[in-house]
Each structure stands twice: as structure tokens, then as C-alpha cells.
Amino acid sequence: DVKVTQSSRYLVKRTGEKVFLECVQDMDHENMFWYRQDPGLGLRLIYFSYDVKMKEKGDIPEGYSVSREKKERFSLILESASTNQTSMYLCASSLGQGNWDEQFFGPGTRLTVL
Amino acid sequence: AQKVTQAQTEISVVEKEDATLDCVYETRDTTYYLFWYKQPPSGELVFLIRRNSFDEQNEISGRYSWNFQKSTSSFNFTITASQVVDSAVYFCALSVLNSGGGADGLTFGKGTHLIIQP
């Protein structure tokens, strides 16, 4: 089974802190994605990556950055956390570019910024 | 830009009744994929189905069925003889080809919360 794991299920941070959300997949997938989920808004794409050291902006990249130094790991970084970044963050992976396989999702990290 | 609309915020049915979840999408691309995901109370999204824009055949998988109609840009999902375990939030999503010929991230609808009452 494909497994996507996220470093924390719940996280509480203070405004202005630098926050790292980690995501690891164990199926050698090329594509990885970060979404945020908010009530009434569904899931929105923040950033995605097709390969190591590659990144592409999604629909709402402002206030976020990403890092992909290894194929299996994709990190979401909040340089200076703000209260409007309180949300559920979901990581996903899929097989490869040009491949239309479904995305596999991790369990999510519920981040609260105080 | 792509858009997915799930007009039903919440649907409540009694167990064993059928439930139909609506999905309407917008895209100018001719090649695209449509998906349905289920998010149970545990929170992890579970893939249900993928359909490409050139395949309008309806699909049935057990109690689940999907009706894809390009003429109305709809991809509706029906659960027959619903069960309490079907209670979840269901998302419809759309993916289009990027300039490199691959698929970008998904554009999701806002989700429909399906409540199955015993």
C-alpha cells in the first residue's frame, strides 16, 4: 500500500514563528503536493513538485515555500506564521508526470497559529 | 482557470435510501480528468474513481455509480442503498494537462457532507 505520512497530526505555533510541515511517501512517486483545507472552501493547492529540487506554485502560494531535497520528502515552510494560516494541511503524492494516476493523501496536519 | 462546483453543502438520507451527489465542472481544456474522493471522519482522503474526458461511459462499482455527461459538464455520484459507513465528506476534483503534457494539482469542489441516518 502507498503510504504518505505527515510529521505531526496537530501543531500549535505562535505568530511570527517559522513552521516546517514534513511529508514523506514510500512508493517512489515523482509528484508531491501540498493543499490546505478550510471549512466551506474545500481543498486548495499551495505548491507541488514534479521532481527533486523542482517546485511549482499552486493556487495560493503566498506566505509559503517548499523544499524537496529528496524524492520521498516534501516540506512545506511557513516563513513567518500568521493566524490566517490556521488550517488543515494535506500532503499528497502521485506516480509521475504524464501519468494520470490518482493522488494519495496523508492524514493531514491541523495547524493552529496563535 | 478551472472550477468545480458542488452545490450541495450537506445531504441527509435515511439508511438504505439512495443518495446522489452533484458535481459540475468548468474548463476550456479538451483533455482533463475528473475524480471523486471520500473523506471519512478520520480525515484521510480516499480515492474513489477517475474518469478521463474522452470516456463518457457510466461506471458502476458495487453500490457506487457515476454519471459523466460532457454536454452538461457534470460528473454525478450516486450511492445506492446507503449505509451509515457512507457518512463522510465527498469531494469532486478536476485535473487538466499542463504545457509539459503532465497533470498539475487537483482543483477541488468545496465538498458535500453526506449524512446517513440509521
Query: Are B105 and A100 an interchain contact pair (Cβ–Cβ within 8 Å)?
Result: no
Residue A40 with chain B: CB contacts under 8 Å:
110
Give the model's confidence band at A97: pLDDT under 50 very low, under 70 low, under 90 confident, else very high.
Answer: low
Task: Encode pLDDT of B53-101 as tens digits.
Answer: 888 888 888 999 999 999 999 999 999 999 999 999 999 999 887 776 6
Give the end-to-end CA distance of chain A in Å, rounded to a whole number: 37
Residue B94 with chain A: CB contacts under 8 Å:
none
Task: Encode pLDDT of A10-50 as tens digits.
Answer: 999 999 999 999 999 998 999 999 999 998 889 999 999 98
Task: Encode pLDDT of A59-82 as tens digits.
Answer: 999 999 999 999 999 999 999 999
**What Rg, from alpha-carbon coordinates, does chain A have?**
13
Q: How far is A109 from chain B (nearest CA, A)?
A: 10
Percent of chain B with pLDDT over 70: 96
Interface check for B109 against chain A (CB to CB < 8 A): the answer is yes
The closest alpha carbon to B114, from B23, B46, B62, B40, belongs to B40
SS3 content of chain B, % helix, strand, coil (to 5): 5, 55, 40
